[in-house]
Structure 1
Amino acid sequence: MILFDVLTFVGVIGCLLFFGLFKNRSVQSESSYLFAERKCNVWQLTCTLVMTEMNTSTLFSFAGLGYLAGIRALSLPLVFFIGLIFYALTVAKKWKNLDAYSVVELFRKRYGETLAKLASLALITAMIGFTATYVKSLSLLFHPLFPNFSPWVISLILIGITLMMTLRGGLVAIIRTDILSFLLMCLIIPTILFVSYRAAPKTSLVFPEAAQILPTRFVVSLIFLTMFTYILAPWYGQKIFSARSPKVARTSVGLAAILVFLFYGAGVLATAYLKGAGISLNSPDEGIPLIVQSLLPTGMKGLAFATLFAICATTLSGVWSAMSAMVIADFWKCRPEGNYKRGLMLTLAFASISYLLGNTLVDRILAKLILANIPVAALAFALLAGFYSKKVSPFGAFLSIIVGLGWGIGCYLHFGEAGLYTWYWAIYGLPLTFLSGIIGSYLKPLPTFQRNTR
């Protein structure tokens, strides 16, 4: 980048820091730090939900498949649209009505302390995996700009900036930076699509090899997995708990579904046009960074890199915050009027873990993102039954979780990524998880008096 782009980048990061740090001293209570006093309106909640979902890991992975499979890769953003609409229709209002510290509170109320802790550990494990991939994607994004620095150094600097923006203010600071990041993204993502289209305006986006690269079975399996994992996502649950009302919660998730599809879809189409222009990539994941570096005009490059950083930083900070809230709620004692320092220290600890794992264990981003969903999908039956059925027993819920974990891990080990393990995991594993929960509840049912009080 030339000097003007560097100055633009620094200026935008400075604005993000200002928004994140503004009036942070007013955030004193644990409730304010973790849930923004539960007063978010539709605009605030929609912005923060979109930015929670938007992350550079998924953006680069989806865009990479756009480069390989063309317009067929729009089926991947469609996966998220369906998953979020399912969330809005089934659990958005119910989570807000619960209005807890953690999504695991439902498991505690319905199935007891032991099962709640098992669910919490499963979700925290998954979120550690997610945040590690986000750190990896940040390194991939900025390494071409700083080729003399190792990924360890680059990710350390970027995580440090992220923590400066959000660590002291918690969810209040996260929402402020989410709103600014959302506005920046509304400018940059369409611009990336436009300059890519301009490079190859008459190119067909129907690629002959698309069906082999992106099989229908893979997409269908992702749709079902997304539907039954997003309903449990603690990073969404925490944001829903911050909503002003159940109606605000459902409306915001519905709007977020549309916007997420449009933003990811634009990334897919941008790299498809890139291939149509005859531009070769060392890796499909490099499509978006290359468009930013090579096709955007002076000034926009710096703005784009700052926006891409913000996309990942806001997701990272949101998931760290959700993990902190879960540990406090599920393993410690909640103190809504206590000070913010427990949440701050936990956020710092989870940031350190993400940094270490992102630089050691993550290689292929999309593959690791999907794999991290195994413990989340295993909880799907217990969650939906907790909201919609009084007959499901703790034993049935426990059995469904064990079967879900075993089946998901078994499919990965037996079939592997090359054998399309997600198909067998989703199409056979999800029904098996639900069936085992029903059978377990039949074999060891709840006593009638407990059923009537839940």
Structure 2
Amino acid sequence: MAGDYAVITLYIAGMIGIGWYSLRLAKTRNDYLVAGRRLGGFLYAGTMSAVVLGGASTIGGVGLGYTYGISGAWLVLTIGLGILALHAVFARRLVRLRLYTVSELLDLRYGGSTSAISGVVMWGYTLMLTVTSTLAFATIFSVLYDLPTWASVAIGGAIVVCYAALGGMWSITLTDLAQFVIMTIGFLLILLPVALTSADGFTGLRAELDASFFSFGSIGGGTIFTYVLIYGFGLLIGQDIWQRVFTARSPKVSTWGGIGSAVYCAVYAIAGALIGTAAKALYPNLGNADDAFATIVRDLLPSGVRGLVLAAALSALMSTASGALIACSTVSTTDILPKLLRRELGTSVATNRIATVVLGALAIGISMIVTDVVAALTVAYNILVGGLLVAILGALLWRRGTRAGALASMVTGSVVVIVSMITQGLLANEPIYYGLGASLVVYVVVSLATPRTSDAVLRTWDQRLAAEQEEPASVRS
């Protein structure tokens, strides 16, 4: 394992080094939160791909391939569909608005504050996403270095907090680019061909496995539909994703960079499912499908190369954690703390850096005591989508929507989701169906029953949407 340790250590040192380098790039709040809104196409596509492809996409995607075959690709495919829809339909408008948070969009479109509800929901979602990602990459530290869980969480979490706090979105962008390259080499160019070759290619797979492993529908239509609702729509409105959109230097960059990221997600989805399918043929009796990734890496790859692939998995997990952490920090300093303190926090980078450190420490603490991570993340996603999706899409698509309708839909959707999870079970499919349905009905009815949004508010909205972006001379790659 000496070669593996060396590769992992170099990877960690590189991430911290990038964070230290980015310290001098984050001179303003705009730099710290959205990388100065200066990213070109390649940087944008790389960082968007890195943030959406985390542990669920890598370890979980391989596990679904082990269980369902090629149909296991659907989870990551729906992530790609969400990214495609976001960038094909909405990204240009989001870039023109020049915002920092989702709640700011709702306030601008509807007139008046909605952040008491939307900001708190988004804060809880981004914090829990940080926690689950921290726990996921801590397992790699635990296995590699034979450490107790609490120590793995503390070490892994401290690394992410360190580079995220130092340079903010610039740190995260540059580390994400490095992580994107490592993920591509380790997962797509090394592990995929090795796994398929070891299983004697598609001929060997078909000889060993049932025909259902080669059907795109074997995971079930209901599961696919739920994935679309939770993950596809969740990516349409998540603060961690929108904050990456805000980094684009122009609407054109966001559109084409995002579409490129969606295509990459589709390739990653198929690769993960095929690696899992190969693992099923090679190791048909694993007790836990999620062990397929670690098993195939351990048994098929030599030292050093194995470390690179583990670094690829670590990259996927760390990029999600750092993106969620900076999103949680942004929501805190933009939407929540000013309301609680009844004053603006100013534009100091130090304020945002302190918030990132404090929230990172909180996420590490929760990661040491939380038990049912999957249930906690499901709760966060259900409330996010059930509570906020209708109000956000309504803001972008329906001019008759009103602030009263948005607030009523957010409260109703969140309450219905929570009650349904209590009565139907935390992991049931029904809560998101009921929550979205109730939110949509209430949004339309209340909006039609209340006065239209004032012409002045809509005029300001239209002016912001029509604004053209200047393209800085720097950072065009």
TM-score of the two chains, using structure 1 as the length reference: 0.91
Is contact 2:409-2:439 (8 Å) kept? yes
Taking structure 1 as reference, are residues 430 and 23 closer, same or farther at Cα in structure 2, changes over 3 Å only?
A: closer
Residues in 2 aligned to 1:449 and 1:112: alpha-carbon distance in whole angstroms: 10
What SS does the aligned partner of 1:446 have? coil
Q: Does the 8 Å contact 1:381/1:400 carry over to 2?
A: yes
SS of 1:203's equivalent? helix
Q: Deviations over 1:67-86 (max 9, x none)?
A: 11111212222211221111
Deviation at 1:21, TM superposition (A): 1.9
| Residue 88 (structure 1) shift | 1.3
1:288-322 CA distance string (max 9 Å, x none): 12222221122111222222222211221111111
The answer to whether residue 371 in structure 2 is matched with residue 369 in structure 1 is no
Offset, 1:208:
4.7
Q: Name the residue aligned to 2:55.
A: 56
* Contact 1:85 1:257 (8 Å CA) reproduced: yes
- Aligned mates of 1:106, 1:287 — CA distance in 2: 42
Residues paired across the two proteins, number = 447
Calculate the aligned-residue CA RMSD, in Å.
2.4
Alpha-carbon offset, residue 249 of structure 1:
1.0
Counterpart of 1:151? 149
User: Would the aligned equivalents of 1:57 and 1:133 in 2 still touch at CA under 8 Å?
Assistant: no
- Report the 3-state secondary structure (helix = DSSP H, G, I; strand = E; otherwise coil) of the residue aligned with 1:379: helix
- Alignment partners' CA distance in 2, 1:240 and 1:75: 24
Once residues 112 and 296 of structure 1 are traced to their aligned partners in structure 2, the CA distance between those partners, rounded to angstroms, is: 57
Partner of 2:391: 382
Query: CA deviation digits over 1:105-133, x for unaligned, max 9?
Result: 11112334442221010111111221111
Does the aligned pair in 2 maintain the 1:134–1:316 contact within 8 Å?
yes
SS in 1 for 2:31: helix
The equivalences for 1:11-160 within 5 A come to 11-147=10-146, 149-160=147-158
- 2: CA distance between counterparts of 1:334 and 1:124? 18
Greater shift after overlay, 301-310 or 183-192?
Answer: 301-310
What is the TM-score when the length of structure 2 is the normalising length? 0.87
Report % sequence identity. Answer: 21
Q: What's 2:175 paired with?
A: 177
Please tell me whether the aligned partners of residues 138 and 153 of structure 2 are also in contact (alpha carbons under 8 angstroms): yes
1:315 counterpart = 2:320: yes
Residue 22 of structure 1 aligns to a residue whose secondary structure is: helix
**Equivalent position of 1:221 in the other structure:** 226
CA distance in 1, matches of 2:333, 2:449: 34
**Which 10-residue stretch deviates more, 293-302 or 408-417?**
408-417
1:188-233 CA distance string (max 9 Å, x none):
0021122221221211355659999833202112213333322211
In the alignment, what sits opposite 2:236?
A: 231
* Alignment map for 1:342-361 (pairs within 5 Å): 342-361=351-370
Write out per-residue CA displacement over residues 149-204 of structure 1, whole angstroms, 9 at most, x where no aligned residue. Answer: 21110111111222333321111111111111111111100211222212212113
1:370 corresponds to which letter in structure 2? T
- Distance of 1:335 and 1:265 partners within structure 2: 45
Q: Equivalents in 2 of 1:66, 1:26: separation in Å?
A: 41
Q: Superposed, which structure 2 residues align to 1:333-348 within 5 Å?
A: 338-348=347-357
Q: Which residue in the other structure is 1:440 paired with?
A: 446
Alpha carbons 1:123, 1:375 under 8 Å: kept: no
How many angstroms does 1:363 deviate by?
Answer: 3.1
CA contact (8 A) 1:21 1:166 kept: no
Counterpart of 1:163 in structure 2 is 161
* Pairing 1:329–2:338 present: no
Equivalent position amino acid for 2:452 in 1: L
The gaps in structure 2 that reach 5 residues or longer are: 462-477
- C-alpha separation between the residues in 1 aligned to 2:266 and 2:366? 29
* Equivalent pair of 1:87/1:227 in contact (CA under 8 Å): no
Unaligned runs of 5+ in 1: none
Alpha carbons of 1:211 and 1:53: their partners in 2 closer, same or farther (altered >3 Å)? Answer: closer
CA 1:92–1:133 in 2, change beyond 3 Å: closer, same or farther?
same
Which residue in 1 is equivalent to 2:468? none
Q: For residues 14-33 of structure 1, what are the alpha-carbon distances to aligned partners after superposition, in whole Å with 9 as ceiling and x for unaligned?
A: 22322232252342222211
Greater than 6 Å deviation, 4+ residue runs: 209-213, 333-336
Matches of 1:320 and 1:132, distance apart in 2:
9
How far apart are the structure 1 equivalents of 2:91 and 2:378? 23
